[in-house]
Amino acid sequence: MEIKRRGVIKLLLGLAAGFNSLSSWSQGWPDRSIKLVLGYTTGGASDATARIITRPFEQIIKQTVIIDYKPGAGASIGAEFVAKSNPDGYTLGLVDTGPLCIAPNLRKVGYDPLTDFTPLSYVCTTGLVLIVNPELDVKNVQELIALAKAKPGQLSYASSGVGSVHHLAGELFKFKAGISILHVPYKGAGPALTDLIGGQVPMMFATIGPALQMISAGKARALGVTSLARSASLPNVPTIAEQGLKGYEAVLRFMVMGPTKLPPTVASKLQADFKTMIGDQSVVGELKKLGNDEIVYKTPTEILALIQDDYRKWGSLIREAKITLDT
């Protein structure tokens, strides 16, 4: 019994030493560069957002932040890399609604979006805008719905690909409006926008930032934004919800996430540092130039609640509309 007792004491002392070592290590964080994983290629809205937030964040933590691009599978490859990374605070991810709430409802992914991440910071909401080719004789959402009902199955809408938020925005629109319109998937939002301007497809749900120039030039007509509140970038364009489709919302939410089991002291420091960054008005201004809204700090609990709500919402729509990757 005495030998057993001494063994237990030795184990407890060892664990205490380990906890003290972990505490000492985490207090020195960060002592080297940090990797910010992005599930998309360079040049898009996600990349631009990442570049805006890394500069001021580097100044706060006094370390370099390296953007690591891991595109593919609707950004779920990048999300999986973050989820499975060493929980030491040196690998983070700028993750959006796609890999967290849409992809897991469409395909098998190598992570659980609700349990395999540590929420660190809300960054912004990126709304979409319903645009049409100027040749289409509609001026608002109700006129578009009336036209679609008069010509069931004859109108089509473009998207950046099956399972993208642009695609699901169209499916949600169909469901709430009770209309039949055809989905035309493209390999990216750029080609879809080009064909809309060229008249090959009459309408699409486009990310606000890239669409602004086309709207200003009169090459596309904006009918409504997909957020619940009007966008600061398009203040005169009403929301789709206020034009008769109550509760309609289709947005991308950008969040910084870490893997689960981050040391509490590291997670707390990251959350505090990101809160400082999001409060920087120069950062807010740069993000707004991209067409982003709701650039505010949210607590980890609030972030998780949003992810859970969007996961259920998009999952329900995907099942109801029988959307598959072959749709």
User: Is the Cβ–Cβ distance between 308 and 117 less than 8 Å?
Assistant: no
Q: According to the model, what pLDDT value does residue 274 have? A: 96
Q: Which segment of 10-19, 53-62, 143-152 scores lowest on mean pLDDT? A: 10-19
Instruction: For 191-221, give one letter per residue: b (16+ CB within 10 A) or e.
Output: ebbebbbeeebbbbbbbbbbbbebbeeebbb
74 pLDDT above the threshold of 90: no
68 pLDDT above the threshold of 90: yes
Mean model confidence pLDDT for the chain: 90
Rounded to an integer, the average pLDDT of 211-225 is: 96
At 280, the amino acid letter reads: D
DSSP state of 100: I
Q: How far apart are CA 2 and CA 196, in angstroms?
A: 81
pLDDT band at 327 (very low <50, low <70, confident <90, very high): low
SS (H, E, C) 162-184: CCCHHHHHHHHHHHHHCCCCEEE
Encode pLDDT of 106-135 as tens digits: 999 999 999 999 999 999 999 999 999 999
pLDDT band at 44 (very low <50, low <70, confident <90, very high): confident
User: Is the Cβ–Cβ distance between 305 and 60 less than 8 Å?
Assistant: no
What's the pTM value of the predicted model, to 2 decimals?
Answer: 0.86
Half-sphere exposure of residue 254: CA atoms within 13 angstroms, side-chain side:
27
Q: How far apart are CA 298 and CA 274, in angstroms?
A: 10
174 pLDDT above the threshold of 70: yes
Share of the chain above pLDDT 90, in %: 81
Q: How far apart are CA 245 and CA 119, in angstroms?
A: 32
